[in-house]
A and B are shown apart, each in its own frame.
Chain A
Amino acid sequence: MLKNIRTVFVLLFICGIAYPLLMTMLAQVILPVKAEGSLIKNESGEIIGSEMIGQSFKDPGYFHGRISSINYDAAGSGTPNYSPSNKEMIERTLNDIEEFSNENPTVDKADVPSDLMTNSASGLDPNVSPQGAIVQVPRIANERGLSEKSLYNLVDEYTESRSFGLFGEPRINVLKLNIALDELE
């Protein structure tokens, strides 16, 4: 029994203490910005968010992200875990489509991509699909008094491709796009 206890403590030290501390040290030395969570700072050095984490955008002058049941509270993470047959989910989606139509009266409902009207898995999804940004362009052009063409160009510029052109899906980082949008004026 004693040798089992000794073995477990030796392994606990190697795997549970030394390994995570070594990893922290290596990561902090080699990749300090990413190891800290890819935080974005403004000119005066204040943190305005993380490149990786979505933010809540309600202002009609900004591009909006996906639905988040936790309202992009990154202290936690989560989703309502609705089943595909859940009535509450269908109710919520109906309301969201209606709200979107009111805010974007020129957009045909059939053109709205499903990612924009659904809750992400994490509640913190930083991305929308390119189509999800394109359908919001007329509204933002109107709100900000910018030409639609300049906005379509911006969306195009901020469309990130798949990893190695192969893995994952093309997407737009909503926070980065909105920062660029503010700089456009």
Chain B
Amino acid sequence: MDLLQIGVVLALVVILAIPMAKYLTNVYSLEITKQDSMFGKIERVIFKLSGIDTNDMRWQQYAKALLLSNLVMFIISYIIIRFQGVLPGNPSKIDSMEPLLAFNTAASFLTNTNLQHYSGESGLSYLSQMAVIIFLMFTTPATGLSLCMAFFRGLTNQRSIGNFYVDLIRSITRVLLPLSILIGLVLVSQGVPQTLNPTAIANTLEGATQNIARGPVAALESIKHIGTNGGGFFGVNSAHPFENPNGFTNVLEILSMFLIPAALPLTFGYMARNKKQGWILFSAMGLMLLVFLSITFINEKNGNPALEKIGLSQENGSMEGKEVRFGIAQSALFTSVTTAATTGSVNNMHDTLTPLGGMAPLAMMMLNCVFGGDGVGTVNILMYSVMAVFLAGLMVGRTPEFLGKKIEGKEMKLIAIAILLHPLIILVPSAIALATQLGSSAISNPGFHGISQVVYEFTSSAANNGSGFEGLGDNTPFWNISTGLVMLFGRYFSMIAMIAVAGSLLAKKRVPETNGTFKTDNSTFLVILLATVLIIGALTFFPVIALGPVAEWLTIR
């Protein structure tokens, strides 16, 4: 039954990706499409109210628009949470957030990370939950999708790089908003609350009083997953029965977070007029997912040897930190998908995963290109594709080309920097944290697991994932500042580099395909691509994986 339910969910991911990919291709088309008659009217009102013109941009204008609009979002969000205590929409009398925590929270939600150093139930007012958290949960995946489309257009030789504001607003009106309303209502039908009434007070069967926190959960829950955001309404995120009440909602949430990331490589195929290219990218990511999912599933299913030794049956797997309604199959699946899609919501506690079971999600965030978050994940795998073409080109001594465009020094420098930045902003801060009292004092689980806790926190920040080994006591100035900066670097630096690559490729003439052209839409390329990703990833991260999860595994085995 375990394998069957996992298989069905994965099959559904593939089946849904195909129509979604076609839909997305039309959403971001630079030509007029049928969708315009449906959404055009509303969008024109928004353009008018915002004072936007919809002409094509140069890449520098596109990058500037992306950065400035995100900067404004950051400032407004910071102000609201910094002063939520005196602003309206605060029936539960929640205090204003202190400056460093507010910086971390604003950075976290702005970068689609959703790392939470505050507790959901008590840290934010209703106004902040709505006007900051839900607002950013729409605009950040929309920003990611826009970037992705700019990059696609550059690689596939379109008319221009597009217009940032048009992409941003279409992402919301045509993709994120309709899906969120639909899925949100389905979630309510399964028992996810959507109310503005305060905490309910119950008299339990044994005569005690139970305060039951609730709120406008469903509205947040749907966009949290569709936008690969991940920040929960409640402290324990999608493990809370109000956020994820049963097996069906669990599958629905998994499908929601994979819908866009799984469709985008196929969208790329459509835009490049080469469907096979899209499927090759999809397969590369799919194969990596299968490997890591298997590692997590098998290890969790085998249970915790330390508890087996003291006589607790592990027949149903390692159940500490998991919910009965999900069991091992739905927990392992959720964990793998949420770290692959860099959503970062959790339906079980990742800190409590068995050592190797917890290593797999960590590894996926380190690679950062197994489907990935809305937009950015596909950009990352394309970055690796260009890298693979370059390496293959060097080996046979030809100028590398990707989809008919010559890859030269300028593009390679930008891509190499973007790829290397990711390990740099994980390993350097981890080393600082482990070497100093500032960081190491936050560790809650002694021994090798403590290393995993620290590395997981920075990896999750850099990959803009946001899940945590939650035992870490991370609401301190050191952690708020360091992870805040890592998140901002992790998101914006590579974004700008990629827009620059797109602009540079767009300006080049297409070279005609010859017999000697290195094909990128066949299985040979698939192997080279996987090898590139794994070699770069393994060389960079193997030492730290060995010190953390592997060492812990050896000690309790």
Contacts and interface: CB of A to CB of B under 8 A. Distances in A.
A79 B327 contact: no
Contacts of B191: 34, 38, 51-52
Contacts of A154: none
Interface string B234-248: 111001111001111
Contact of A12 (B76, B248, B325): B76
Interface in A41-62: 46-59, 62
A75 B326 CA distance: 23
Interface stretch (B154-162, B350-358, B370-378, B393-401): B350-358
Contacts of B440: none
Contacts of A54: 241
A29 to B, nearest CB: 11
B267 interface: no
Name the residue among B206, B250, B470 with the largest chain A CB count within 10 angstroms. B206
A109 interface: yes
Interface residues on B, range: 35 or more
B205 interface: yes
A58 B208 CA distance: 11
B408 interface: no
Nearest to B133: A16
Contacts of B192: 34
Given A37-B200, A81-B352, A90-B306, A113 B211 contact: no
Interface residues on A, range: 35 or more
Contacts of B446: 86-87
A15 B136 CA distance: 8
A52 B242 contact: yes
B195 A81 contact: no
A162 interface: yes
Contacts of A35: 188, 193-195, 218
B477 to A, nearest CB: 22
B351 A83 contact: yes
A80 interface: yes
Interface stretch (B49-57, B95-103, B409-417, B537-545): B49-57
Contacts of B452: 83
A20 B317 CA distance: 39
B205 to A, nearest CB: 6
Interface string B308-323: 0011111111111111
B203 interface: yes
B291 interface: no
Interface of A: 1-12, 14-17, 19-20, 22-24, 26-28, 30-31, 34-39, 46-59, 62, 66, 72-87, 89-90, 93-94, 97, 109-115, 117-129, 132, 162-164, 166-169, 171, 175, 178-179, 182
Interface of B: 1, 4-5, 8-9, 46, 49-52, 65, 68-69, 71-73, 76, 119, 121-122, 130-132, 134-135, 137-139, 165, 168-169, 172, 177, 180-181, 184-185, 188-197, 199-206, 208, 210-214, 216, 218-220, 234-236, 239-242, 245-248, 250-251, 303-304, 306-307, 310-327, 329-330, 346-349, 351-355, 444-449, 452, 469-471, 552, 555-556
Given A36-B200, A49-B210, 17 more contacts: A7-B50, A7-B72, A8-B139, A14-B172, A15-B177, A19-B138, A35-B218, A72-B210, A79-B321, A79-B349, A82-B445, A83-B447, A93-B312, A114-B303, A163-B247, A166-B247, A169-B325
